[in-house]
Amino acid sequence: MLTLLPEATRQLGVPRAVYSSQKIGSPVGRPHQREEHIDTLKTCLKVVDKLEKGMIYHTSSQTYG
Amino acid sequence: MKHRSSVPVSKGLRFTSRMVRGLQRTFPRLYAKVAKHEGRKWGDSSIPWTPVKKPVTESRVALITTGGIILKTQEPFNLNDPKGDSSYREIPGDASGEDLVVSHLFYDHTEVEVDTEIMFPLQALHTLQAKGEIGEVARRHFSFNGGISDPTLLIERHAPDVAQQLVADQVDLALLTPA
């Protein structure tokens, strides 16, 4: 899951999540910024096999928590 | 072009919708606390887990969104349902941005109306397939309406339905984008 609300996501018990600091309503990026959208997807896919149960990857700090 | 589905909603719901969007925009930390509280109410201490079985470059990938994205030809979500409409819409893998609109009350979708990719990045996923960064785009994807105050039906019926369809389609990875 791509999340904008990491604490709520943690409470819900989401198995794998990536936290992006985009605003609510545009989780993948800004309108018509296709490279940005692709980068967001690539980040999610890059960490999918590194995330452990319940873990959230923070894109800004590139840390797992 | 505006990607928006017009459905009449009651005055009360319009007011609630404005309040929620105002809270998101003006007091994001407070909104995050409210969301955390809701998460605690509906969360489960057991976290489901399925190991990744294939490299991403060989995986079939599907999108799931709670951003209320629907085909123009589909019935809009019931925005007047006091519990929140927990049904879902199937979006074919070959849908284009011009085929899609948003049907949702509880977030500011001004930008999604301009470009649905920012909520439902289907064309970006096709680009990743073309570049060999994923195995394949799934043949169908799924969209829910957010703002569900009572998720009982979602948990008991609609989410398991979607999970079964993803399994039937042999989807390896599903990415959920939220509203």
The 10s digit of each residue's pLDDT in A6-30 is 998 998 889 999 999 888 899 999 9
In B24-85, at which residue ranges do the beta strands (DSSP E only) sit?
Answer: 60-65, 69-71
Q: What is the mean pLDDT of chain B?
A: 91
Q: How confident is the model at residue B46 (pLDDT cuts 50, 70, 90)?
A: confident
ipTM (interface predicted TM): 0.94
pLDDT: which is higher, A60 or B127: B127
User: CA-CA distance, A18 to A23, in Å (whole number)?
Assistant: 14
| Domain locations along chain B | 11-177
- Work out the widest C-alpha separation in chain B, in whole angstroms: 50
Exposed / middle / buried, residue A58 (Cβ in 10 Å: 0-12, 13-18, 19+) = middle
Taking the Cβ of residue A50 and every Cβ of chain B, the question of whether any pair is shorter than 8 Å is answered with no
Exposed / middle / buried, residue B123 (Cβ in 10 Å: 0-12, 13-18, 19+) = middle
Task: Please tell me what DSSP assigns to residue B154.
Answer: I
Determine the pLDDT at residue B50: 93
Residues of chain A above pLDDT 70, percent: 100
Determine the pLDDT at residue B23: 84
The label of the residue with tokens 């904008």 reads A4
Both tokens assigned to A37: 């959208």
Shortest Cα distance, chain A CAs vs residue B175, angstroms: 5
Exposed / middle / buried, residue A3 (Cβ in 10 Å: 0-12, 13-18, 19+) = buried
Taking the Cβ of residue B46 and every Cβ of chain A, the question of whether any pair is shorter than 8 Å is answered with yes
- Average pLDDT of the segment spanning B30-47: 80
Verify whether the Cβ–Cβ distance B47 to A54 is below 8 Å. Answer: yes
Of B31, B173, B178, the CB nearest to A48: B173
Say yes or no to pLDDT of B109 above 60. Answer: yes
Both tokens assigned to B50: 């399925």
With residue B168 as reference, give the H or E element that holds it. helix B159-168
Contact between B91 and B97 (Cβ < 8 Å): no
The 10s digit of each residue's pLDDT in B1-24 is 566 666 778 888 888 888 888 888
Q: How confident is the model at residue A34 (pLDDT cuts 50, 70, 90)?
A: very high
User: CA-CA distance, B71 to B106, in Å (whole number)?
Assistant: 19
Helix (H, G, I), strand (E, B) or coil at A57: strand
Verify whether the Cβ–Cβ distance B117 to A34 is below 8 Å. Answer: yes
Of A11, A29, A32, the CB nearest to B39: A11
